């Protein structure tokens, strides 16, 4: 993990509240899908960094796709930064998905809402293709074509039924008839709880990326813990830090 100031290459709106931000990135610094970046907001009145998942890393740079969480928020300020401006970051943070354990298996990736972006980089890393199930609120199906272009077989579920399955990503998985050997997921907690239950029912491993309110973002403050089923080797209690011990956990090792 490094703390550095980086230049913004470009920033564009994907939907009303979803932004795509590219920053300069030294390609030699290896990034594992599922890791994230702490972005420090330039306004000193906003004390805490924003943890934002990594959507892609290419020769061009590193891409983050994030949601503007409201008016006058840190992400709203970030969305106003232009190409050529700089931001401070730490990263890449966290463990990411264990590529060696999922490569070559019948893997289904599931992304819900702002949990979709990290699945794009994972899709690109899974040589030979994979199945992706994307859950959206409505017909604003941001990044969907990019998953198709990356060679994934894509299924969609929407809350309002406007595209694909009317329901959850689990509903879409059942409808597809696919029987996965491994699940990789990122999304809101109720979705992850559903995937944890599916994983237990079907006896397959599910790697889920958790989201939690963070402060330091580097493992020091113990703000962003998740309850674990076993005593954590670092904390010595049944709590693990989402930022650096995760954000990806085997679903049967955490309590949601």
Partner 1 sequence: MADMKVTMCGVEFKNPITVASGTFGSGMEYDEFLDLNRLGAVTTKGVAAVPWEGNPTPRVAETPSGMLNAIGLQNPGIDVFLERDIPFLKKYDTRIIVNVCGHSEEEYLAVVDRLNDADIDMMEINISCPNVKEGGIAFGTDPKGVEAITGAIKSHAKKPVIMKLSPNVTSIADIARAAEAGGADALSLINTITGMKIDIRRRTFLLANRTGGLSGPAIHPVAVRMVYEAAQAVSIPIIGMGGVATHEDAVELMLAGATMVAVGSANFGNPLATTEIIEGMERYAEDMGIKHIADIVGRVK
Using CB under 8 A, count the residues that bind partner 1.
34
Strands 153-158 and 62-67: unpaired
Give least dist CB 250 to partner 1, A: 19
221 binds partner 1 (CB under 8 A): yes
Footprint of partner 1 on residues 194-213 (CB under 8 A)?
212-213
User: Which C-beta is closer to partner 1: that of 49 or that of 118?
Assistant: 49
Contact criterion met (CB below 8 Å) for 19 and 39: no
Q: Which stretch binds partner 1 (CB under 8 A): 53-61, 147-155, 159-167, 219-227?
A: 219-227
Give the DSSP H or E segment for 9. strand 2-13
- Burial of 77-103, coded b for 16+ CB within 10 Å and e otherwise, reads bbbebeeeeebebbbbbbbbbbeeebe
177 binds partner 1 (CB under 8 A): no
User: Which C-beta is closer to partner 1: that of 200 or that of 237?
Assistant: 237
192 binds partner 1 (CB under 8 A): no
User: Which C-beta is closer to partner 1: that of 96 or that of 205?
Assistant: 96
Residue 167 preceded by cis peptide, ω within 30: no
User: Which C-beta is closer to partner 1: that of 140 or that of 235?
Assistant: 235
Footprint of partner 1 on residues 135-174 (CB under 8 A)?
none
Give least dist CB 140 to partner 1, A: 20
Instruction: Give the whole-angstrom CA distance, residue 236 versus residue 224.
Output: 16
**Cβ count near 66 (within 10 Å):** 23
Minimal CA–CA distance to 94: which of 252, 242, 256, 250? 242
Instruction: Give the whole-angstrom CA distance, residue 49 versus residue 37.
Output: 9
Sign of CA dihedral 57, 59, 61, 66: negative
Footprint of partner 1 on residues 31-90 (CB under 8 A)?
40, 44-49, 74, 88, 90
Give least dist CB 180 to partner 1, A: 29
Positions that interact with partner 1 (CB under 8 A): 1, 3, 40, 44-49, 74, 88, 90, 212-226, 234-239, 244
């Amino acid at each position: 993990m490094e703390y550095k100031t980086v230049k913004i290459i470009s920033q564009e709106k994907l939907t009303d509240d979803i932004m795509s931000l590219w920053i300069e990135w030294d390609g030699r610094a290896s990034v594992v899908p599922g890791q994230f970046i702490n972005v420090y907001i330039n306004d000193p009145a906003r004390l805490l960094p924003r943890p934002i998942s990594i959507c892609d890393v290419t020769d061009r740079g590193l891409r983050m796709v994030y949601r503007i969480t409201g008016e006058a928020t840190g992400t709203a300020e970030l969305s106003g930064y232009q190409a050529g401006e700089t931001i401070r970051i730490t990263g890449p943070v966290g463990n990411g998905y264990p590529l060696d354990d999922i490569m070559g298996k019948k893997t289904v990736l599931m992304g819900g809402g702002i949990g979709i972006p990290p699945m794009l980089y994972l899709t690109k890393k899974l040589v030979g293709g994979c199945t992706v199930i994307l859950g959206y609120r409505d017909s604003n199906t941001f990044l969907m074509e990019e998953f198709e272009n990356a060679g994934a077989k894509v299924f969609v579920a929407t809350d309002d039924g406007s595209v694909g399955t009317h329901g959850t990503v689990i509903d879409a998985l059942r409808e597809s008839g696919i029987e996965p050997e491994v699940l990789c997921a990122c999304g809101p907690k109720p979705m992850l709880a559903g995937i944890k239950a599916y994983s237990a029912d079907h006896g397959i491993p599910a790697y889920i990326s958790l989201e939690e309110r963070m402060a330091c973002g580097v493992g020091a403050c113990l703000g962003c813990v998740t309850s674990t089923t076993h005593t954590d080797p670092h904390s010595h209690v049944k709590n693990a830090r989402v930022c650096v011990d995760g954000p990806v956990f085997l679903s049967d090792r955490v309590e949601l």
